[in-house]
Structure 1
Amino acid sequence: MKISTKGRYGLTIMMELANRLGDGPVSLKSIAQKNDLSEHYLEQLIAPLRNAGLVKSIRGAYGGYILAKKPEEITSGEILRVLEGPISPVEFSEEEDPAKRYLWLRIRDSISSVLDSTTLKDLITYQDEGDSEGYMFYI
């Protein structure tokens, strides 16, 4: 499974809103400029996030967007599912070899576990501990 720009930029939007919590509504233009992204593309991403109840829109000259919930109540899994759809490393059928199906299900469940246990608050308060040697992943 590869997360597309929809998921990556959606996380960027949500992290910006979480970082600016309490500062009033945030415009997509300011998020786009700060992160060197297309404002038009962000406009396409904000609608599903609003429809899912993750953000609220505020109209007016000083309008923009705010989080609909606290950062600790929104998981990265919720955001990615809204923008990317179901989380699955591969598409498989019920008729597939049971051993391979078992592997795909374990991978899916592991990815879901990480995404569902990582909140927006975790992402905006993350501190690099400098232990880049701690994990080695080969795919």
Structure 2
Amino acid sequence: MKITYKGDYALKIILYLAINYGKGVITIPHLSSRLDIPEKFLEQILLELKRGGFVKSKRGKEGGYFLAKHPSEIKLGEIIRFIEGEIEPIACVDINYKGCKDIYSCVFRKIWVRITQETLRIIDTVSFEDLANEIKAQEKSLIYVI
């Protein structure tokens, strides 16, 4: 499984909105500068996330984006699958796999299936609330020296 820039940015956008959940809307210029994502690419990803029901937008001068549901209800795996598609490190892990004649590949299939299952278990249990809380805890533990 390889996450594209688009997927990586989508995860960062959702995480940033999760950290700021309940604090109002976040503008595109703010997201772009804070997450270092080009505005045009950011707009495309936000529109896709909006179509997927993960974010909502508010129009107008005071407009911007916010999460469509509580961060605890959005799992890491949902966003990855939505943006990247199904998670299959190798073709033979696909549920529609018919088998092959390559005995060497088939020996590895069991391992790839286990790797995929464990990856799915992890990404389907981690919520954006979990990740946001981890970031907030790290920020609190920082010591500022002047």
- TM bucket, shorter chain: 0.7 to 0.9
1:32 to partner: Cα distance: 1.0
1:16 to partner: Cα distance: 1.1
Out of 111, 114, 123, the residue aligned to residue 103 of structure 1 is: 111
The equivalent of 1:42 in structure 2 is 42
Query: TM-score, with normalisation over the residues of structure 2?
Result: 0.81
Which one has a bigger Cα radius of gyration? 2
1:16-52 Cα distance to aligned partner (Å, 9 max, x none): 1111112211112211101222111111111221111
1:31 aligned to 2:31? yes
What is the RMSD of the two structures over their aligned residues, measured on CA atoms?
A: 1.5
The equivalent of 2:120 in structure 1 is 112
The equivalent of 2:74 in structure 1 is 74
The equivalent of 1:18 in structure 2 is 18
The equivalent of 1:94 in structure 2 is 98
1:102 to partner: Cα distance: 2.1
Contact 1:48–1:82 under 8 Å retained in 2: no
The equivalent of 2:144 in structure 1 is none
Report percent identity of matched pairs: 38
Runs of 4+ in 1 over 3 A off after TM superposition: 96-99
Take 1:109 and 1:14, find their aligned partners in 2: how far apart are those partners?
24
1:94 to partner: Cα distance: 2.2
SS in structure 2 opposite 1:125? helix
**5+ residue gaps, structure 1:** 129-139
SS in structure 2 opposite 1:105? helix
SS in structure 2 opposite 1:65? strand
Contact 1:14–1:67 under 8 Å retained in 2: yes
1:79 to partner: Cα distance: 0.7
